[in-house]
Structure 1
Amino acid sequence: MTIKSIKGCIGCGTCVKTCPTDVIRLDPETEKAVIKYPADCQICHLCRMYCPVDAIRISPEKSIPVVVSWG
């Protein structure tokens, strides 16, 4: 699994909206985010960066450094 966990999720849906590969979905029963398609994750860190409660953890062995260009 690429994304390690979504513990502490408040169900805002921000991670679902920001994921470019549609990996994360909201569970209709719990109304919390779940990693539906972990193999399709591109490790872009958008879900982690935009999560308002810092609920998403990415596995260190799968993580790549975040690269931000300023120009």
Structure 2
Amino acid sequence: MAIEQINGCIGCEECIKACPTDVIRLDSKTKKAFIKYVEDCQICHLCRMYCPVDAITITPYKSIPVVVSWG
């Protein structure tokens, strides 16, 4: 995804609740979060901000370059 890795997940589901695009799910066997719909992530950083153990890392590959309109 543009996200990420969820290493160190404690299964609290805060990232799942925070995600506005509903791309994060909880694995029923491991009880840990994972990104189910990678291509739909909007990189809003809400999952990362709400994670109490800082388990989520956002990678920049999907980010949009800055466009400067003056110059």
For normalisation by structure 1, the TM-score amounts to: 0.84
The match for 1:35 is: 35
Q: Distance in 2 between matches of 1:13 and 1:19?
A: 10
SS at match of 1:39: helix
The match for 2:47 is: 47
The match for 2:60 is: 60
Task: Report sequence identity in percent.
Answer: 73
Structure 1 or 2: larger helix share? Answer: 2
The match for 2:19 is: 19
For normalisation by structure 2, the TM-score amounts to: 0.84
Q: Distance in 1 between matches of 2:40 and 2:11?
A: 21
1:63 Cα deviation from its structure 2 partner: 4.5
Larger Rg: 2
For structure 1, which runs of at least 5 residues remain unmatched after alignment? 65-71
Q: How many corresponding residue pairs?
A: 64
RMSD: 1.2
Q: Distance in 1 between matches of 2:30 and 2:59?
A: 24
For structure 2, which runs of at least 5 residues remain unmatched after alignment? 65-71
Runs of 4+ in 1 over 4 A off after TM superposition: none
The match for 2:9 is: 9
1:4 Cα deviation from its structure 2 partner: 1.6
